[in-house]
């Protein structure tokens, strides 16, 4: 009998897919980034507006992707959509950026966030505990714990999709209930309400004074802003909210392992992004209830959720948030690790990535791709440079999201006869609004943070020569096979 080659097994239902969407989105961002948003915009109204704009963009993009996922229900997701809509180079540039910074740096950052908050419970595992040095590189206990987490989740995912599914669904369910519980208890148990006081600021945008290097001056003056300065401030503030809302598209990468993908991917994208948007907006409303605006802008250690939890629960509040973030980041990284390797697998099947990443192990998962991703993410943990990389991520991912949504219009003209179980909701108006908002965000981010936006663009452009090298190698291999 001929040996049966391993193939992806459709094992994930609608609830599982929705948990991948929500679980991959919620990491540590919602517990931290509202601080920066408040410093940039300075009012309760604009704090909520930034999260609402981000939520609108996220849900709009997600329901637009529903059309693409129904057309191409196979592993690789966004890489496949860009390749089909434009050309293989566009798909490769996304896949390369995904491997170099988008997915791997996010995995590293989420792992180190897990370590930082574990240190609340076990101080010896913190960043201040330097275990050894490698030249100029100082390696802390937090970095090693982050690497251990990445390696453990990678290992569990090499054993098959079912183990990853159990971890994802369990931890995402726990984190959703925990966040809803924190929000409700915040409104019920707060010792003092700052709601009326905070909302007196309305939509009167002010920005914290900056020093010569462009950093915020602690307890500096608040300066009124409007016009293009306000748009620039919103764009800079949205770096945090967009990073916190990113990775919703991870479910499209595992389309080959989802039951009835033409239906369930689109539905899970909508349900997952809607749930997370509701949680994010209501969490920030809770912050405005339990903390004065100045304390949202300047909590101890820039950890606004810790300050809010301490206000609700007293001294035990920091530990409550630490446990919640550990659960949240553990589940988030599982989803990122599980989904990311499928992109490299699909690229390899197209002859545009390391050949072994295009193989499945006996458990029907791309083991080599998983371990390669693990190595790169672990190196980013050690480098300590993941923080700077994350500032580049928002620019790069929004640019590719906009390009992918433009691809919907391209494909309607290019391939009008292909089956479309879903059609992009509100087309062409909502997708056009998304693209306009995305381009505005990217332009103003270049103005506000040129170094990070420029570096992100540079990483993308490095992929052009790499693509032609990969293409050349592919042609040589085909020629050799033909001769043989």
Tell me the pLDDT tens digit for each residue of 191-233. Answer: 899 999 999 999 998 888 877 767 777 777 888 888 888 988 8
Residue 331: predicted pLDDT: 93
pLDDT at 220: 74
The three-point CA angle 106-172-116 to 5° equals: 45
Tokens of 57: 């963009």
3-state secondary structure of 11: coil
Per-residue pLDDT reduced to its tens digit, 283-332: 999 999 999 999 999 898 778 999 999 999 998 988 999 999 999 999 99
Query: Does 1 have pLDDT greater than 50?
Result: no
Contact in structure between 268 and 20 (CB atoms under 8 Å): yes
User: 319 to each of 302, 325, 385, how far by Cα in Å?
Assistant: 16, 10, 27
From CA 456, how far away is CA 454, in angstroms rounded?
5
Instruction: Give residues with Cβ within 8 angstroms of 249, minimum separation 6.
Output: 61, 62, 65, 77, 78, 269, 401
The Cα 167–Cα 208 span in angstroms is: 42
pLDDT tens digits, one per residue of 56-77? 999 999 999 989 988 998 888 8
pLDDT tier, 2 (very low <50, low <70, confident <90, very high otherwise): very low
Q: Which segment of 112-121, 171-180, 465-474 scores lowest on mean pLDDT?
A: 112-121
Note every long-range contact of 290-295, with CB atoms under 8 Å and residues 24 or more positions apart, other chains counting: 290/186, 290/190, 290/193, 290/194, 291/194, 292/194, 292/197, 292/198, 293/38, 293/42, 293/43, 293/44, 293/194, 293/197, 293/198, 293/201
> How far apart are the C-alpha atoms of 213 and 356, rounded to whole Å?
46
Placement of tokens 């420029």 in the chain: 454
pLDDT tens track for 100-125: 989 998 999 899 889 988 988 898 98
- The label of the residue with tokens 């990853």 reads 164
How far apart are the C-alpha atoms of 6 and 256, rounded to whole Å?
13
Place of tokens 């001769």: 483
pTM of the model: 0.89
The pLDDT of residue 4 is 61
Calculate mean pLDDT across residues 352-379.
95
Tell me which H or E stretch contains 219. none
Residue reference for tokens 């391209």: 410
Q: How many angstroms separate the CA atoms of 86 and 22, rounded?
A: 29
């Amino acid at each position: 009998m001929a040996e049966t080659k391993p193939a992806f097994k459709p094992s994930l239902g609608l609830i599982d897919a929705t948990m991948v969407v929500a679980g991959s989105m919620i990491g540590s961002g919602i517990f931290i980034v509202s601080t920066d948003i408040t410093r940039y915009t300075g009012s309760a109204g604009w704090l909520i507006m930034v999260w609402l704009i981000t939520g609108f963009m996220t849900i709009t993009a997600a329901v637009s992707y529903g059309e693409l996922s129904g057309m191409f229900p196979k592993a690789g997701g966004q890489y496949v959509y860009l390749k089909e809509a434009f050309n293989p180079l566009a798909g490769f540039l996304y896949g390369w950026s995904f491997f170099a910074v988008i997915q791997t740096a996010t995995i590293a950052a989420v792992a180190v966030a897990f370590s930082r908050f574990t240190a609340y419970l076990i101080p010896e595992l913190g960043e201040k505990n330097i275990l050894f040095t490698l030249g100029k590189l100082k390696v802390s206990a937090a970095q090693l714990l982050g690497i251990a987490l990445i390696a453990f989740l990678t290992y569990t995912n090499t054993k098959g999709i079912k183990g990853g599914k159990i971890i994802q669904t369990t931890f995402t369910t726990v984190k959703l209930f925990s966040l809803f519980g924190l929000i409700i208890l915040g409104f019920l148990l707060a010792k003092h309400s700052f709601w009326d006081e905070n909302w007196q600021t309305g939509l009167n945008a002010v920005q914290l004074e900056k020093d010569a290097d462009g950093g915020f001056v602690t307890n500096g003056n608040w300066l009124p802003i409007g016009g293009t300065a306000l748009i620039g401030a919103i764009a800079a503030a949205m770096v945090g909210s967009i990073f916190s809302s990113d990775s919703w598209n991870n479910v499209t990468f595992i389309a080959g392992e989802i039951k009835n993908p033409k239906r369930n991917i689109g539905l899970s994208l909508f349900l997952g992004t809607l749930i997370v948007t509701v949680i994010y907006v209501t969490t920030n409303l809770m912050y405005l209830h339990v903390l004065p605006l100045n304390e949202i802008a300047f909590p101890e250690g820039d950890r606004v959720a810790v300050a809010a939890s301490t206000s609700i629960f007293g001294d035990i509040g920091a530990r409550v948030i630490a446990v919640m973030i550990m659960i949240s980041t553990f589940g988030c990284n599982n989803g990122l690790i599980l989904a990311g390797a499928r992109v490299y697998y699909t690229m390899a099947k197209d002859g545009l990535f390391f050949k072994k990443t295009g193989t499945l192990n006996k458990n029907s998962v791309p083991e080599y791709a998983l371990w390669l991703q693990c190595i790169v993410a672990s190196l980013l943990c050690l480098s300590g440079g993941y923080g700077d990389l994350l500032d580049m991520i928002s620019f790069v991912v929004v640019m590719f999201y906009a390009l992918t949504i433009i691809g919907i219009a391209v494909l309607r003209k290019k391939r009008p006869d292909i089956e479309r179980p879903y059609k992009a909701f509100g087309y062409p108006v909502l997708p056009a609004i998304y693209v306009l908002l995305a381009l505005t965000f990217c332009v103003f981010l270049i103005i506000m943070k040129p170094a990070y936006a420029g570096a992100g663009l540079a990483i993308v452009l490095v992929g052009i020569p790499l693509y032609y090298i990969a293409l050349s190698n592919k042609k040589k291999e085909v020629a050799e096979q033909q001769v043989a």
